[in-house]
Amino acid sequence: MKRTRYKNLDDISNQKSFKDMRRWAKERKAKKKDLTTHIRLANTKDIDELQNNRNKFSITWIGHATFLIQMDGLNVITDPVWAKRMGFQKRMTEPGIDINDLPEIDIVVISHGHYDHLDFGSIKKLKGNPAYYVPIGLGSAFRRRGYKNVQEANWWDDFLINENIKLSFVPAQHWTRRSLRDMNTSHWGGWIIEDNKSQKSVYFVGDTGYFTGFKEIANRFTLDIVLMPIGAYEPEWFMAPSHINPEDAIKAFLELEGNLFIPMHYGAYRLADDTGPEALARFNKEWERLNLSSENKMVLKLGETYWG
């Protein structure tokens, strides 16, 4: 039986040749990077308050693409990954909050199936009995592991969680693979969480290159907080279709007309040649060059919580 293979908008391809891989390996070998400077951990963490919170809005950066979002009394986790290794490389920074210090989780949203965004070892350790919202094609990977409360989503699908909260799955420009034969047999995207009661919205962008879809998303949604990737972009001739760079991340944020930019996807794993501090420095430099207000960005330390 032929399996569905999912595509990007505008049919943008992320496939690379063996020649491309050799070129990247040669370039990486020639580069000298400071791998001793890391993204900082928060000095204090609001663990007790997070565990007992059932009415305040909060966003806590745990690391990479993993956030704890508390909204309308619900505990939501994005792309939960506490893995100490990714492939042959060790994690460069500790997760901001130990997985055992989390409150019980109500909802898990997954952007796509790459291992740095979907780690079943971490999912197994989550407290509670969450519902899983995953891209279309990925549900079977959950069900065969015994998870039954799984909802699959195609682009633009939405789900009413309760009388106030709505989840929507929106496009991203990326790709996915978990084995040799399953390339792009599940989809990829971002999740928008809207609270009708408080009129707050959070857009978890997921993993993406810069693409025309940001303008369409802006046309369909009023966005408050944008959790946007800024890392894993170097070398850009190789990574650009899949991983947005800091300057284009800000460009996308402005197109989305969001109110608050919270950067993510930098510093935890060395997935490309840039380092976490480099990505953050480029982000801050571009923000200042464009003379954007400091009130519209929030650079969280690992384990730090934004209380909205």
Asked if residue 98 belongs to a domain, the reply is yes
Asked if residue 1 belongs to a domain, the reply is no
pLDDT of residue 39: 96
pLDDT of residue 88: 84
Asked if residue 19 belongs to a domain, the reply is no
Asked if residue 13 belongs to a domain, the reply is no
Asked if residue 15 belongs to a domain, the reply is no
Q: Two tokens at 190?
A: 């971002």
Nearest by Cα to 221 from 158, 270, 295, 302 = 158
- Which helix (DSSP H) or strand (DSSP E) does residue 284 occupy? helix 276-289
| Neighbour count for residue 180 (Cβ, 10 Å) | 6
Residue 80's contacts (CB-CB under 8 Å, 6 or more residues apart) are 66, 99, 108, 119, 122, 123, 126
In the sheet that holds 260-264, the strands lie side by side as 158-160, 165-170, 190-195, 200-204, 225-229, 260-264
CA 158, 160, 163 angle in degrees (round to 5)? 150
| Neighbour count for residue 240 (Cβ, 10 Å) | 18
Nearest by Cα to 185 from 238, 119, 123, 141 = 141
pLDDT of residue 81: 98
Which residue ranges in the chain fall short of pLDDT 50? none
Condensed to tens digits (0 to 9), the pLDDT of residues 84-118 reads 999 888 999 999 999 999 999 999 999 999 999 99
Asked if residue 283 belongs to a domain, the reply is yes
pLDDT of residue 261: 98
| Neighbour count for residue 199 (Cβ, 10 Å) | 9
Q: Two tokens at 74?
A: 């619900």
Burial of residue 288 (CB within 10 Å: 0-12, 13-18, 19+) is exposed
| Neighbour count for residue 255 (Cβ, 10 Å) | 15
Q: Which amino acid is at 266?
A: Y
- Helix (H) and strand (E) counts for the chain? 8, 15
- Looking up tokens 């990977």 gives 141
CATH number at residue 182: 3.60.15.10
Phi, psi for residue 253 in degrees, rounded to 5: -60, -40
Provide the domain limits for residue 183: 47-307
Query: 227 in helix, strand or coil?
Result: strand
Number of domain units in the chain: 1
Q: Two tokens at 2?
A: 């032929």
pLDDT of residue 1: 58
pLDDT of residue 201: 98
Condensed to tens digits (0 to 9), the pLDDT of residues 247-295 reads 999 999 999 999 999 999 999 999 999 999 999 999 999 999 999 999 9
Say how far apart CA 244 and CA 232 lie, in whole Å. 8
Say how far apart CA 152 and CA 149 lie, in whole Å. 10
Asked if residue 244 belongs to a domain, the reply is yes
pLDDT of residue 69: 98
Asked if residue 162 belongs to a domain, the reply is yes
pLDDT of residue 3: 85
| Neighbour count for residue 79 (Cβ, 10 Å) | 26
Per-residue b/e over 95-105, b at no fewer than 16 CB within 10 Å? Answer: bbbebeebbeb
Residue 126's contacts (CB-CB under 8 Å, 6 or more residues apart) are 77, 80, 99, 102, 105, 108
Say how far apart CA 212 and CA 270 lie, in whole Å. 27
pLDDT of residue 87: 86
